Structure 1
């Protein structure tokens, strides 16, 4: 996604990608709210998820299409092709993950809450994931912002491992449906964080390797 691919100057590239991360975070945040704060406003929250995902997927599809079209051109810009492919794939996948969280959250509206310790473990992973996605958005938007760190990703991964240990040991006393929901939710948050970090890293490299003006 070079200046040409973005339809403007180099700054537009970073603004657009930051906007995609914002949409992904909005969808995931709204879905998480439905999961942990089930209220009469659940339908409105899910509608907000749908709106954000609709816009996100359209943008991701546009990037993927642009990347393929440019890649077929021997004179295409390498930076454009690679960035469109990487960013389009990552943010598109983040949309799928947010959709999964939303679907589980909505289905659980009529079910009893998860047991406290497991519920808090999932909540902690979700909150840290959302914080990381927000940090990735900031890092893409401004070179002055703090970068996403390996330590942040490692911490989220470690939380996931601890939760898996609880699930596999049977100590949480969950039925199969609840255990599957918890496992999928945790994986969705972990992968969302990984994808956001990947976008932030790629855009940092994109900024670092920009041709001298």
Structure 2
């Protein structure tokens, strides 16, 4: 029974990693559709979101089946429940990529973003994609220390998010009302995408240490990860 449980757990971990890759691909394609006014690519992102949704359903059904058949307790139970929550984060990441693609489709053939904002959103997209891929690596390796990298990357994302609003609120901003609304929505989509990646990594910390915390608590992450030895220590 224990061997079967471990096999199921490995399959669930692999599915979480695959979800992270699909989410990164979706955001990359959605961003290209946004920048290039590519209607076909935007539609592909919207259609392909069902792949992430289907993978989440499969993962959740597998986890629930394991809970029902093997009735895990303590650490095993924590692994299953945490996997369910991580699948939710990654599925929502895919939804955010779909939102970007839908906006590109809505404004086609026009440009969603004025030239002034394009470099910022390009950087936000790259940062977000790297974050979700790193989250997948953290899941695969149960890397409790990797979460600190994503927390730092999220600070970059938050800085870019604030920069978008600084530009929009500056008296020199000449964009239309539509540009302002679209940029506000897009900035939120990318920022939330990064938040979900951080959430996945922090759930890995909980999985390994058994300690959960509000990520807004200053110093909480450092307090309970400094006691976990690194593999090269």
TM-score when normalising by structure 1: 0.79
Distance 1:184 1:73, change over 3 A: farther
Unaligned runs of 5+ in 2: 211-233
1:64-213 pair list within 5 angstroms: 64=60, 75-77=71-73, 78-112=77-111, 114-142=113-141, 147=146, 148-207=149-208
2-structure distance, mates of 1:145, 1:65: 26
SS of corresponding position for 1:171: coil
Unaligned runs of 5+ in 1: none
TM-score when normalising by structure 2: 0.73
Distance 1:64 1:81, change over 3 A: same
SS of corresponding position for 1:114: coil
1:37-76 pair list within 5 angstroms: 37-39=36-38, 42-43=39-40, 45-64=41-60, 75-76=71-72
Contact kept? 1:167, 1:179, Cα under 8 Å: yes
Structure 1 residue 200: Cα displacement: 2.6
CA-atom RMSD in angstroms: 3.2
Q: How many residues align?
A: 204
2-structure distance, mates of 1:142, 1:197: 16
2-structure distance, mates of 1:101, 1:113: 10
Structure 1 residue 12: Cα displacement: 2.6
Distance 1:73 1:196, change over 3 A: same
SS of corresponding position for 1:111: coil
Match of residue 215 from structure 2: none
2-structure distance, mates of 1:25, 1:130: 5
